[in-house]
Amino acid sequence: MSKNLTSRAEDYSKWYNELVVKADLAESSAVRGCMVIKPYGYAIWEKMQAELDRMFKETGHQNAYFPLFVPKSLFEAEEKNAEGFAKECAVVTHYRLQNDPDNEGKLRVDPEAKLEEELVVRPTSEAIIWSTYKGWIQSYRDLPILINQWANVVRWEMRTRLFLRTAEFLWQEGHTAHATKDEAIIEAELMNNVYAEFAENFMAMPVIKGVKTESERFAGAVETYCIEALMQDGKALQAGTSHFLGQNFAKAFDVKFTNNEGKLDHVWATSWGVSTRLMGALIMTHSDDKGLVLPPNLAPFQVVIVPIYRNDEQFEAVSEKAESILKELKVLGVSCKFDKRTTHRPGAKFAQHELQGVPLRIAIGPKDLENNTVELARRDTLTKSIVEIKDISVTIKNLLIQIQEELFTKALDFRNEHVTEVDNFDDFKKVLKTKTGFISAFWDGSSETEQKIKELTKATIRCIPMNNKMEEGKCVYSGQKATQRVLFAKAY
C-alpha cells in the first residue's frame, strides 16, 4: 500500500492528495468540490470536536442551531460581509421538482415553484444570527450572549482540495454579543487563545498568534485574530480565526440595548471559527512518506495489537495475551484495537496501520509468549523494540505522552528554523524560493506595498504577531519607514 504513495520530495501536493485517499480519510464526491469524510477521517474530526466543545463550554459558551438558509435581504444587510461572500454563494431559487414532460423518468425544476426571495446557503452565519439576536436583546441584562454552533457551510470555491478548501465544509462558529467594546475584544482574544491551546496541545501543531492586516481581515470585521501554522513544505496555513466585529452587525440589523445607565447603544460582537481544514493542517504537520502520523491525543485508536501465528492454537494463546493487554490499557484510558482479522496477513496489517498513522503497534507471536515480551513499534520514529510484557500498559501510557510531546517539539523546531529575518527584497525573494517558511520583515503598513509584494512573490502577510516588538526599520519592499516586522509567507 504505502509503496504507492508519492514521496513528499517528489511532489508534496500529490503526496497529500494520495495520502488523504489511501489512509481512508476522505474522498471527492459526485458533487463538484464537496467531499465525503470517511469513517476513519471522521473519527479524528470527532476527537477534535469533543475537545474543542469541552473547551468552549469551559469558557462559558453554549451550543445552539440556526438555519442553513439566509434570505437574500438579510444576507445583504451587512454590506462588507455580503460583498466578501457574494461571489461564492450557492443559491436556492426553487422548492420543488416535477416530472419532466419531455424526458420520461426524469425530473426537472418546477417553474411554478420559484421562491419569492432567494435563499443563500450559509457561507457563514453572522447575518441570520444577528437578525435573530435582535429579538433576544433589549437590556444589558440580556448580555453577554455566548453561543457556538456546529454546522456545515458552503462557499463555492473554484479550486478545491480535500479538507483544505472544499465547497461544503464542517465547522464551528461562535457568535457572541457584548455590552462593551472591551469585553468583546477580550472575548475575541480569549477564543484565539483557546484555538492556539488546542492546536498545540492536541494537534501537536505549533502556531503563531497574531492579527490580520486590513486586506486579509474577515469581511465585516474590525479586527481578525488568527493562528498561523507552518506546513512541512514551508507554506503557512491559517488554522483558526477569531473576529472582533465591532458594532457592524448590530448596526446592520439594528440590535440595540439599554446599558446600565439607561442609554441605548448598539451591541458589540465577535465571531470565531475552525473547520475541517484543521484535518489538512494535522496531516501536513506530522505525516511522512509512509503515510499519516497522528498525535496520540487525536488518534481514533492509539494502539493496535497485531497477532502473529501459524495455527489456531497459537492464535488462541496470542489472543489471550492481547485481550489482557487491551483490558489493562482500557483501565488507563488508552484506546486500543486488537486487529484479529483473518482476511489479512500481518504484513498487510502493519502496512495499513502505518499508512493510517496509529501511534503505537504491538506485535505478539509465539516467541513473545515464551519470552514474556512484545514487539513495540512507534509510528512517528519508525523504531521498533522488544519490551517486557510486565507493566506494558504503563510503559505504553507514558510512551504516548512522550510521543505527543516529541511530535510537538519536532514541529516546533521545524517552524522555528523556518522563520527568517530578512532586510532586503532580494533576500526576501531568495528565501521564499529556497528555504521557504515565514519571513520576518519590516513593512511600511500600507495595503499598496502588501499588494505589490503579493503580486511579485505570491507571499502574503500571514499576521502581525501578538505583542509584536515595536522597532524602527525600513520596509523590505518600499524602503519607507516601518515600525515593526510582520510575518510573510506563501500560504494554503
Q: Least distance (Å) from a copy of itself to the CB of residue 96?
A: 6
Nearer to a copy of itself (CB atom), residue 96 or residue 435: 96
Q: Which is nearer to a copy of itself, 77 or 486 (CB)?
A: 77
Which of 235, 350, 356, 227 is CA-nearest to residue 284?
235
In angstroms, give the least distance from the CB of 129 to a copy of itself: 9
Dist. CA 145–CA 64, nearest whole Å: 11
Nearest approach, Cβ of residue 76 and a copy of itself (Å): 5
For residues 204-224, one letter each, b for 16 or more C-beta atoms within 10 angstroms of the residue's C-beta and e for the rest, the string is bbbbbbbbbbeebbbbbbbbb
Do residues 253 and 77 lie in contact, with contact meaning Cβ atoms separated by under 8 Å?
yes
Rank residues 4 and 343 by Cβ distance to a copy of itself and give the closer one.
343
Strand partners, 152: 170
In this structure, are residues 322 and 305 in contact, taking their beta carbons and an 8 Å threshold? yes
Q: Three cell numbers at 97? A: 421538482
- Residue 72 or 462: which CB sits closer to a copy of itself? 72
Interface with a copy of itself (CB under 8 A): 27, 29-31, 34-39, 42-43, 45-46, 62-72, 74-76, 79, 82, 86-99, 105-107, 109, 118-121, 128, 131-132, 135, 141, 147, 151-152, 154, 156, 168, 170, 343
First to last CA, the chain: 28
Cell of 418: 523556518
Distance CA 429, CA 443 (A): 15
Q: Which is nearer to a copy of itself, 94 or 384 (CB)?
A: 94
Instruction: Kindly state the smallest distance separating residue 375's Cβ from a copy of itself, in Å.
Output: 27
Q: How far is the CB of 132 from a copy of itself (least distance, A)?
A: 5
Other C-beta atoms closer than 10 Å to the C-beta of 238 total: 20
91 or 394: CB nearest a copy of itself: 91
Closest CB 343 distance from a copy of itself, rounded Å: 6
Q: Going by DSSP bridges, is the β-strand pair 145-154/114-121 parallel, antiparallel, or unpaired?
A: unpaired
CA 116 to CA 219: how far, in whole Å? 27
Residue 43 and residue 37: Cα distance in Å, rounded? 9
Shortest distance (Å) from residue 104 CB to a copy of itself: 10
CB of 40 to a copy of itself, least distance (A): 8
Alpha helices, H only, 258-372: 277-286, 312-331, 346-355, 366-371
> Which is closer to a copy of itself, CB of 101 or CB of 105?
105
C-alpha cell at position 144 = 453577554
Q: Which residues pair with 227 in a beta bridge?
A: 209, 240
CA distances from 275 to 149, 171, 238, 283, 393 (A): 12, 4, 11, 14, 34
CB-nearer residue toward a copy of itself: 105 or 347 = 105
The Cα angle at residue 155 between residues 148 and 135, in degrees rounded to 5: 40
- Read off the C-alpha cell for 254: 439594528
Minimum Å gap between C-beta 106 and a copy of itself is 6
Distances, alpha carbon 86 to alpha carbons 26, 76, 78, 156, 413, in Å: 28, 9, 12, 10, 41
CB of 491 to a copy of itself, least distance (A): 24
Comparing CB distances to a copy of itself, the nearer of 128 and 199 is 128
In the complex with a copy of itself, the residue whose CB is nearer, 116 or 472, is 116
